[in-house]
Amino acid sequence: MFFDLIDFSDLALADWEQLLELGFDICENPAAYRERLKGRILANLFYEPSTRTNLSFQAAMQRLGGGVIGFSGTSATSVSKGESLKDTVKIVSNYADAVVIRHPSEGAAYAASIYSKLPVINAGDGGHLHPTQTMVDLFAISKLKSKKMTGLAIGVCGDLLYGRTVHSLLRAFSLYKDNTFYLISTPALQTPEYFLSELKKRNEIIMAETIEECIDKLDIIYMTRIQRERFENEDDCNAQIGIYVLDKNKLKKAKDDLAILHPLPKNDEIFAEIDDDPRAKYFYQAELGMYIRMALLIKILENPKPRVSAAAQNTGKKCQNATCITKTEKALPNIAKTSGGKTICAYCENEI
Ligand code: NCD
């Protein structure tokens, strides 16, 4: 069992299946869980904007009888006076029972776990990972496809380079086998290889340039927005807008039981006319988010397991990724791990 949830890979299949079963049960019978975390406090530290993740964590904790503290944006906190992540996390550790953190720097949640005596849940670290959105996505797929998680054809479309929900989702699917993934993106926004290496071992990956070339084969299409806030320059971002758009015309060739998913917020990649199509499941997907986060909070807060630190070595070498948390948190040790024969930063996973 896990202590923190930084990466979906912190979970074994058995952990995830237990969580999923609990999610199903809570969804059927939420009243039975009303007092389950009575007296416990969750700290929600949102350094970046959020609607669903922040509010569904708050609702989840309150529906379990617990309380929530935290912030949404840093302007009213001491972060705006220059306080480090280390100091903020150390202080909050005294007030709550678990910490949820969303931060613009890659590796921030892992960094927070180094300083926190409490369990840390990653609610999005820059363009890196977003494991609790993946729980929502897998829960939705499991509900919509009658718990069938193999033999599916899944299209993942849009910003596969910076889309952290995509990275976590692809990693999570390495727990399952015999699925076919159509990765639909421009060459500039393809998924970094290190999110695919485990998935490839038991699943097929097909690179696609258009939605049209694969829409008729898909059981699921997972649309994503272009992550404007992660681009270094505006022109590069603008060049990617409007390339992948799901409209009624493209859906004509799709299966009747296609599930259209999107982590939300959506921009122009899904026409509003699709919202009323019975295959559009993204609002339902978001609704499920609260229940699976209730399951996660119960698992993490009841009988927390001892923290097992990741096998990382002090290298003395600095990570060169400009958006890595080590760029702003000067006190962090320069630690690395090995993956696929390469030395990668323990925080953001970029090659060192
Ligand atoms: C996503 C995120 O923050 O990464 N939103 C969410 O949590 N549901 C997706 C996005 O912002 O595009």
Q: In CATH, what number is assigned to the domain containing residue 298?
A: 3.40.50.1370
* Closest approach atom of ligand 1 to CA 102: 3
User: Which neighbouring-strand residues pair with 205?
Assistant: 181
107 Cα to the center of ligand 1, angstroms:
16
316 Cα to the center of ligand 1, angstroms:
33
136 Cα to the center of ligand 1, angstroms:
12
**Angle separating helix axes 131-144 and 282-301, nearest 10 degrees:** 120
Burial of 132 (C-beta count, 10 Å sphere; 0-12/13-18/19+): buried
Per-residue pLDDT for 11 more than 90? yes
On whether both 32 and 51 belong to a single domain, the answer is yes
Task: Tell me the percentage of the chain whose pLDDT exceeds 70.
Answer: 100
Peptide bond into 265 cis (omega under 30): yes
Q: Scanning the structure block, which residue is given the tokens 């910076």?
A: 162
On whether both 142 and 108 belong to a single domain, the answer is no
* Closest approach atom of ligand 1 to CA 123: 7
On whether both 216 and 199 belong to a single domain, the answer is yes
pLDDT score of 304: 78
Return the number of other C-beta atoms located less than 10 Å from residue 313's C-beta. 13
Residue 3, domain member (yes or no): no
pLDDT score of 321: 96
Residue 273, domain member (yes or no): yes
- 285 in ligand 1 pocket by Cβ < 6 Å? no
Q: Tell me the mean pLDDT in the region 98-114.
A: 98
Burial of 110 (C-beta count, 10 Å sphere; 0-12/13-18/19+): buried
* Closest approach atom of ligand 1 to CA 136: 8
Residue 145 is given by DSSP the state T
Distance CA 264, CA 278 (A): 18
Helix (H) or strand (E) holding 342: strand 342-345
On whether both 279 and 319 belong to a single domain, the answer is no
Distance CA 224, CA 282 (A): 11
Nearest Cα residue to atom 7 of ligand 1 = 53
On whether both 109 and 220 belong to a single domain, the answer is no
Q: Domains in the chain: how many in total?
A: 3
On whether both 198 and 279 belong to a single domain, the answer is yes
Task: Tell me the percentage of the chain whose pLDDT exceeds 90.
Answer: 92
Confidence of residue 73 (pLDDT cuts 50, 70, 90): very high
* Closest approach atom of ligand 1 to CA 225: 12
On whether both 76 and 142 belong to a single domain, the answer is no
CA dihedral for 172, 173, 174, 175, sign (positive or negative): positive
Domain that holds residue 77: 8-130+288-302
The pTM assigned to this predicted structure is: 0.97
Choose the residue to mutate in 44, 48, 53 for probing ligand 1, maximizing ligand atoms within 8 Å of C-beta: 53
Residue 319, domain member (yes or no): yes
Return the number of other C-beta atoms located less than 10 Å from residue 41's C-beta. 18
> Over the chain, what is the mean pLDDT?
96
pLDDT score of 173: 98
* Closest approach atom of ligand 1 to CA 264: 8
On whether both 160 and 278 belong to a single domain, the answer is yes
What 3-state DSSP class applies to 213?
A: coil
Return the structure tokens found at 278.
Answer: 């019975």
Residue 195, domain member (yes or no): yes
pLDDT score of 309: 76
pLDDT score of 248: 96
Helix (H) or strand (E) holding 299: helix 282-301
pLDDT score of 270: 97
pLDDT tens digits, residue range 167-211?
Answer: 999 999 999 999 999 999 999 999 999 999 999 999 999 999 999
Residue 102, domain member (yes or no): yes
On whether both 244 and 213 belong to a single domain, the answer is yes
pLDDT score of 349: 95
Residue 157, domain member (yes or no): yes
- 133 in ligand 1 pocket by Cβ < 6 Å? yes
Question: Concatenated DSSP letters for 58-110?
Answer: HHHHHHTT-EEEEEESSTTSGGGGT--HHHHHHHHTTT-SEEEEEESSBTHHH
On whether both 197 and 94 belong to a single domain, the answer is no
Are the CB atoms for 135 and 80 separated by under 8 Å?
no
Q: H helices within 116-229, ranges in order?
A: 131-144, 164-172, 197-200
Helix (H) or strand (E) holding 24: helix 13-28
**For residue 291, is it left (φ>0), alpha (ψ between -120 and 50) or beta?**
alpha
Per-residue pLDDT for 1 more than 80? no
Residue 317, domain member (yes or no): yes
On whether both 256 and 294 belong to a single domain, the answer is no
pLDDT tens digits, residue range 282-334?
Answer: 999 999 999 999 999 999 999 877 888 777 788 878 899 999 999 999 999 99
Residue 298, domain member (yes or no): yes
Per-residue pLDDT for 339 more than 90? no
pLDDT score of 303: 80
On whether both 140 and 238 belong to a single domain, the answer is yes
- 165 in ligand 1 pocket by Cβ < 6 Å? yes
